[in-house]
Structure 1
Amino acid sequence: MLNRKPIFDEVRLLLGRGFDQAEVVRLDAAIDRALGTASHTRQLCDAGRTLIRKWEGCARRRADGRFEAYPDPGSANGEPWTIGWGSTGPDIRKGVIWTQAECDARFDRDIVRYVEEVAAALGDAPTTRDQFDALVSFHYNTGAIGRATLTRLHKAGRFAESQAEFGKWIYNDGRPMDGLRIRRNDEAALYGLI
């Protein structure tokens, strides 16, 4: 992987100033085009995978080492039932038990769809690796990449405003959740890294 810091440092010296976020994204995209590696921003990197797994966890480990499904702790009706690394769906309900390997395999399968949905929602909008990872984490948790104002702002190159939108997604059943507040702070921090 190319160390981009010397390039950014040299351009800062030439300009005699630092960059705003939009300039960082544009310069990053130009480097990618020059290297023929622009597609990297449409893949989940380690930072995104780590962030998602940090917040989803593999909860409800049983004494035998397997994992059992549990109701959503923040919703009034317990929906959706969840297992492993935040996996939900019609096949996840009370009584479902998986091994660690099943949890990992389901995450690997599901994350492909979330990555594709975020990539489709962003289109050709300039996006850094960290921004993409943060947006995938957001979408994995909310399913809202297609309707979120932060997506529209990102596509318009209004990155600071987009970053601020993460903090609005902290509610479950109309109640603010401390865990969601902290997760959104983590996502916004990753999104804004330069």
Structure 2
Amino acid sequence: MKTSERGIELIKKFEDFRSEAYKCPAGVWTIGYGHTGGVKPGDRVTETEAEGFLRKDVESSEKIVLTLVKKPINQNQFDALVSFVYNTGSGNFAGSTLLRKINRNPQDEGIKKEFQKWVYVKGVKLPGLVSRREKESNLYFSQL
């Protein structure tokens, strides 16, 4: 499976393009559409470069989802989970109750609640994460 354009657009919407390196709320140097690998203060990127970083980073998130999710899922579910992993990281996803519930039953309504647990950074609830998790959850449970 590969992330659809709908999934890419979801990630881009919430990551938002930034041409100059900045520290995200978690204190990590970030640039482009949420790219963090090797980013230093003062770094700059074009939108084209940021798109390239995004596509490469999405491939890493896809591999995590494909490796850890053991039950069949549809394209919308895959896209929602790739967005989630892109934002929260592979380690968080690997140890999550969200993943455990998906691997028990990908249609479990309790999965909605699990998405909403991931809205805090350093103990602070962020409105942007509340919105992102809601969109991911809605996509996860939407029909193709």
Q: Report how far residue 45 of structure 1 moved.
A: 1.1
TM-score by length of 1: 0.69
1:135, 1:145 within 8 Å by CA — same for their partners in 2? no
Bigger Rg, structure 1 or 2: 1
1:81, 1:92 within 8 Å by CA — same for their partners in 2? yes
Matched to 1:44, the amino acid is T
Q: Report how far residue 150 of structure 1 moved.
A: 0.7
Q: Report how far residue 163 of structure 1 moved.
A: 2.2
More strand by share: 2
Matched to 1:85, the amino acid is Y
Q: Report how far residue 159 of structure 1 moved.
A: 2.4
Q: Deviations over 1:145-176 (max 9, x none)?
A: 21111111011015211122100000001111
SS in 1 for 2:10: helix
Q: Distance in 1 between matches of 2:134 and 2:56?
A: 26
Number of the residue aligned with 2:95:
147
SS in 1 for 2:51: helix
Matched to 1:98, the amino acid is V
Q: Figure out how many residues of one structure are paired with residues of the other and give that number.
A: 140
39, 52, 72: which one pairs with 1:105?
52
Number of the residue aligned with 1:84:
32
Number of the residue aligned with 2:131:
182
Q: Report how far residue 127 of structure 1 moved.
A: 0.5
Matched to 1:129, the amino acid is Q
> What is the RMSD of the two structures over their aligned residues, measured on CA atoms?
1.1
Q: Distance in 2 between matches of 1:193 and 1:164?
A: 15
Q: Report how far residue 140 of structure 1 moved.
A: 0.3
Q: Deviations over 1:123-151 (max 9, x none)?
A: 3x021111111011000000122111111
Once the two structures are superposed, the pairs formed by residues 53-132 of structure 1 within 5 Å of their partners are 53-59=12-18, 67-72=19-24, 74-75=25-26, 79-89=27-37, 91-123=38-70, 125-132=71-78
Number of the residue aligned with 1:13:
none
Matched to 1:164, the amino acid is K
For structure 1, the residue ranges without an aligned partner over 5 or more in a row are 1-41, 60-66
Q: Distance in 2 between matches of 1:159 and 1:96?
A: 43
2:57, 2:86 within 8 Å by CA — same for their partners in 1? no
Identical amino acids, percent of aligned pairs: 35
2:80, 2:137 within 8 Å by CA — same for their partners in 1? yes
Q: Report how far residue 103 of structure 1 moved.
A: 0.7
Number of the residue aligned with 1:19:
none
SS in 1 for 2:29: coil
For structure 2, the residue ranges without an aligned partner over 5 or more in a row are none
TM-score by length of 2: 0.92
Structure 1: 4+ residue segments shifted above 2 A: none
Matched to 1:150, the amino acid is L
Q: Deviations over 1:38-94 (max 9, x none)?
A: xxxx221122111111101102xxxxxxx110111x23xxx21110010002x1021
